[in-house]
Amino acid sequence: MSTEALIEKVVDESDLDNEDIKEKVEEKMEEFEGLVSEEGAVHLVAKEHGIDLSEERSKELEIKNIVPEMRKVQIAGKILDISDKNTFQRDDGEGQVQNLVLGDNSGSIRVTLWDEQTEIAESVEEGDVIEISGAYSVEDNRGKAELRLGDNAQVKMSEEDFDEVELQTATEVPVSEVAGENNTFTVKGMVMRVYTSNPFFRVDPDSGDTVKEDEDGKYVTDDGEEVEEPEGRLAISAVIDDGSSSIRTVFFGQQARKLLDLDEEEEKDMDIDAVEDAAEAIEGLEVQVEGRTRYNDYFGRIELLANNIEPLDAEKELKALLDVLEA
């Protein structure tokens, strides 16, 4: 369903008119500084007014159209990667988590399996095609949609053909050649500016789910589960320039800490002073960034979501350039 159709549904089920909703959607996109798509902003506005748009998602979706905070998601795709199973300790005992990367002809998405759900990963192999129904999406620590399996989710083998779908590797290019959506690139350049307005969001430390403060001042997940002690997570955007062009790049969680050279405690404690001091200190830093492209509805341009960032050794890079020129 198109964004306009979703807005019309909100109009039909609320006391807001079309212009009111568009204004609220614009405000929501401004609030998240372009970190949420226009369609995602419509879902957030609808949810604030008690309207569930998930019913519009009952048919199978292309992966590129999945955004955070969707319900009843149904997709089919090829298993491109199966991660190792990780165990961790929580208050009620030992937990387990494992990830699948699922791809179709439009893109790829991570599927996170918790506890007994990890048995699914034991019964499939890379290259298998599966169908998932009854899933829901959250925003991961890189700003991408991630699928979770609810209590009523189903996973089964599929006969759909995704033979040509492969796990995408990053292509190193000048910033001026970064283009298209859901493509993976590596760029090298200088950090020209870091934006520190609203650099944190809160999560449930056990599940990683985003939490928000409700009307009673309690922190709850999208499913209404109360979280007594949420932790902070970083969401930072910066401009990377290599002389050919510049691009807005978004860093979440671990990648944001690497960019700012902050530790986990400063992130968890939402230390805004540490963020602002670090942001000022790294302007002019030479970095290499690997990331996935997406179209930012708010700014009307392509941006990078960082999967990895590393500082560059300026002398080493200069020597490599001289070697090329002399060859």
Predicted confidence (pLDDT) per residue in 274-303, tens digit: 999 999 999 999 999 998 888 888 888 999
Helix axes 18-31, 3-12, angle to 10 degrees: 120
pLDDT in tens, 146-198: 999 988 888 988 888 887 777 666 788 999 999 887 788 999 999 999 999 99
For residues 234 and 121, give the distance between their C-alpha atoms in angstroms, rounded to a whole number: 30
pTM for this entry: 0.58
**CA 87 to CA 182: how far, in whole Å?**
31
58-164: CATH topology: OB fold (Dihydrolipoamide Acetyltransferase, E2P) (2.40.50)
Contacts 24+ apart (CB under 8 A), 112-119: 112/146, 112/147, 112/148, 113/149, 114/148, 114/149, 114/207, 117/149, 118/85
E strand or H helix at 95: strand 93-104
Architecture of domain 171-326: Beta Barrel (2.40)
Range from 163-167, 210-214, 320-324 carrying the lowest mean pLDDT: 320-324
Question: Domain segments of the chain: what residues?
Answer: 1-56, 58-164, 171-326
7-43: per-residue pLDDT in tens?
888 888 888 888 988 888 888 777 766 556 677 778 7
Domains 58-164 and 171-326 fall in the same CATH topology: yes
Which residues have CB under 8 Å from 134's CB, separation 6+?
72, 73, 74, 149, 150, 152, 153, 154
SS3 268: helix
Distance of CA 170 to the CA centre of its chain: 17
> What was the pLDDT predicted at 263?
93
Place of tokens 């990895």: 308
pLDDT at 241: 96
Give the phi and the psi of residue 21 in degrees, each rounded to 5.
-65, -45
197 vs 208, more confident: 197
Higher pLDDT: 327 or 129? It is: 129
